[in-house]
Structure 1
Amino acid sequence: MAPLDASIPDLLRLLVVPVFGWAAWRDVKTRRIPNRTWYPLAALAVVLLAWEGWQAWTGTPYETRAFAVRAAVSLGFVAPLVVAFWWFRAFGGADAKAFLVVAALFPTYPTYEVLGWALPHQQTAVGVFSLTILTNTVLLGACYPLAVLARNAAAGRFSPVMFVGKPVPWDAVPAEHGRLLETPDGTTRNGVDLDAVRMYLRWRGLTLADLREDADRLRDPATLPAAPNPPGDGAVGVEEVRADRGERESAERGSRRTRSDGGELEASAEEAAVDGEPNVDSSDADPWGAAAFLDDIDHGAYGTTPEGLRDGLDVLVAADEVWVSPGIPFVVPLFVGTVVALTYGDLLFGAMALLGLA
């Protein structure tokens, strides 16, 4: 007897395991997963859908109906549900793409026989495997805040945000992913995205240490560079651009400013001058040049507003330690949820069975 017995389509579906494992590792390290990761799996899903659809069509009427219903639920319910989660920012873009691949690749339960064991062990009445992977992932992801809370409590770190974040020394922030959970007024669940902070610093040609060392002067947007650097996308591990400390000549204030893409920006209302003198104190009009930064870049900064960026910078230049939410790299519980689904099966139905509800 072969150690692993399964149909060819089900064996091919196992390719998701190493791909999802690699994607989970990338998600933890960089929070970036290349789009090309999903293309081969999406192509495989189309081929297997056609393959098994033809088998069901030429099979018994029951097999035809069963496949049609499960494929309709997977593609017509699970896939739109994932898109809705992404729309409301419960998932990131990479998470949504991975789940869409799952919806197309696993409309029905695969069947494996390993050393005499039939897997997955715990099946469901509906029989839509993508739904099992989704519920497994959500249940495993829900354990994350509990683990964070327990870790903080064990270390004696208490805060209103101790169930979603961790304290980080200021000099470790440039290598952290997630959101700042503090403002000058206290804790928040929706602080500035640290990727946006990295974009801002690279745009100015500064490091966070530079900003802390000379915060009072650099808060003034008159110190913004005449030719800002490309901000990138805020990824960690990118080689830093030149650090020119953001100097520009005072004669350029209130005139035109060169864009990072080679164009020019008209002077903002805060910088507009009359008879060569600013109308208002520029540091009061746009502290840190946050609005100028967001106006200058040619793409968004993860929903960052000028007010949110200013609050985050005010905290980062003053605090020695800040609370940061690393967020849930959702491809990690997706990878684990998929492995559990392929072996044990459906965690929710298993729990319901233990409680006598299924």
Structure 2
Amino acid sequence: MLGGSIALAAVDSSQTLNYDGDTPSTVFDFATIPDILRLVVLPVFGYLAWRDIKTRRIPHRTWYPLGALALVLLVWDGYMVFTGDAAALDQRLFLTRVSISVLVLVPLAYGFWLLGGFGGADTKAFMLIALLFPTYPDYHLWAVGIEGEFATLPLVATDVGVFSMTILANTVLVGALYPVALAGKNAVTGYVSPAMFVATPIDAAAATQRYGVLLEFAEGRLRDARSPSALRSHFSWRRLDLDALRMYLQWRGLDLASVRADPGRYRDPESLPEESNSPGSGSVADSDVAPTDTAVETDGGTLTSEPKEYDDPWGAEAFLDDIDGNAYGTTPEMLRDGLETLAEEDVVWISPGIPFIVPMFFGLVVAFTYGDLLFTLLGAIGIA
């Protein structure tokens, strides 16, 4: 059962667009037309979450109709507030909530993108949420025969009343479950380390069929890190984005099996092809260039796998120079280290990550139905 104070907060914070006392100003008793149209976002984000898991790619054109819808609904809400029967206090609350959502959360998303915390699609999704949901929607299920405390959704709202912040809080809480589940899986298999929350083991030969970041950890287990410097070494991870790996292999016209079969041959920059391929985007679906024979004849015959010193091992610098260095933040050293690891190891650890849009979708579903999870948790411990 919901506490009386929480239920009251839900009613008080979500009635910004209710103008006639107890009856919403709607064409249908269920909700206002803008709030009904906002329900379209749920199946759309469900599709985007599925696509993000499968391909880690969201087409740019996806955001244009959603952005247009967000602007139309924002203007529509504003027109209803300022031309209807809303009190002056409701009008000020509407402006305050819109200002917080748009002027705080949109720059925040952009800042996370600049710092590398968000990808481009994640940033656009975050900004879109800020525009679409500055205030709480209000859905009256009593209009379809549902009575009682569940007759109005969302059930729980914050006193601030900014719905986009509720979605963000839910997204963070839902996303936090992923590293916990990953740590549990690793603990069962005996991998106990700070890395257990972010990494999972895979077959090195299958690395090009996975999305994520290749990680390398310092030797030792968590219990061996008894000093700040030892603990810090666990987090000194050298990273190679597997998208960048696919770009490199496609650029060379190679597959990973060839690299693993004869690393010495391809470690020599003289083995680079005279005509390189387009690297593509690094998507698994785009990695379709057939391997080419790039054997190089030297005085000793075909190159062997014996380690040698080269100015540009693996041609990593040549690759990045040729594509203007834009391979998901990869440096020549990161690419070389990753290739060496994949050539030498049978099992490697990757951080599969979790596309931000996936927990955002579940955060949306929870926000539309239950409301604000964080507000409830803080209320349970007497903070909110």
- TM-score bucket (shorter structure): 0.7 to 0.9
> What is the CA distance between 1:42 and its match in structure 2?
0.7
Alignment check: 8 A CA contact 1:203 1:231 kept: yes
Alignment check: 8 A CA contact 1:183 1:311 kept: no
Supply the AA of the counterpart residue of 1:201. Answer: L
**Residue from 339, 343, 352 that aligns with 2:369:** 343
- For residue 130 of structure 1, what is the aligned residue in structure 2? 164
- Tell me the SS of whatever aligns to 2:201: strand
Supply the AA of the counterpart residue of 1:140. Answer: V
Supply the AA of the counterpart residue of 2:65. Answer: P
Supply the AA of the counterpart residue of 1:217. Answer: R
Alignment check: 8 A CA contact 2:251 2:277 kept: yes
Q: Distance in 2 between matches of 1:351 and 1:153?
A: 28
Q: Distance in 1 between matches of 2:136 and 2:319?
A: 50
Alignment check: 8 A CA contact 2:166 2:367 kept: yes
Query: Is 1:86–2:113 an aligned residue pair?
Result: yes
Q: Distance in 1 between matches of 2:68 and 2:381?
A: 40
Q: Distance in 2 between matches of 1:53 and 1:17?
A: 23
Alignment check: 8 A CA contact 1:192 1:312 kept: yes
Supply the AA of the counterpart residue of 1:301. Answer: A
Supply the AA of the counterpart residue of 1:172. Answer: A
| Equivalent runs, 1:19-38 vs 2, <5 Å | 19-38=44-63
Runs of 5+ in structure 1 lacking a partner?
251-280
Alignment check: 8 A CA contact 2:240 2:338 kept: yes
Q: Distance in 1 between matches of 2:267 and 2:29?
A: 64
Label 1:157 to 1:245 Cα distance change in 2 as closer, same or farther (>3 A). farther
Runs of 5+ in structure 2 lacking a partner?
1-26, 221-233, 299-306
Q: Distance in 2 between matches of 1:338 and 1:311?
A: 40
Q: Distance in 2 between matches of 1:75 and 1:350?
A: 24
- Tell me the SS of whatever aligns to 2:276: coil
> What is the CA distance between 1:282 and its match in structure 2?
9.1
Query: Is 1:322–2:348 an aligned residue pair?
Result: yes
Query: Is 1:232–2:280 an aligned residue pair?
Result: yes
Supply the AA of the counterpart residue of 2:314. Answer: W
Alignment check: 8 A CA contact 2:140 2:153 kept: yes
Alignment check: 8 A CA contact 2:139 2:154 kept: yes
- For residue 383 of structure 2, what is the aligned residue in structure 1? 357
Query: Is 1:77–2:77 an aligned residue pair?
Result: no
Q: Distance in 1 between matches of 2:53 and 2:287?
A: 19
**Residue from 43, 52, 60 that aligns with 2:68:** 43
Which stretches of structure 1, 4 residues or longer, exceed 4 Å deviation after superposition?
Answer: 183-188, 247-250
Q: Distance in 1 between matches of 2:329 and 2:351?
A: 16
In the superposition, the TM-score normalised over structure 2's length comes to 0.81
> What is the CA distance between 1:162 and its match in structure 2?
1.5
Alignment check: 8 A CA contact 1:198 1:234 kept: yes
Query: Is 1:297–2:323 an aligned residue pair?
Result: yes
- Tell me the SS of whatever aligns to 2:382: coil
- For residue 113 of structure 1, what is the aligned residue in structure 2? 140
Q: Distance in 2 between matches of 1:239 and 1:167?
A: 22
Alignment check: 8 A CA contact 1:170 1:320 kept: yes
**Quick one: percent identity of the two aligned structures?**
54
> What is the CA distance between 1:132 and its match in structure 2?
0.6
RMSD of aligned alpha carbons = 2.3
Report the more deviating stretch, 155-164 or 65-74: 155-164
- For residue 145 of structure 1, what is the aligned residue in structure 2? 179
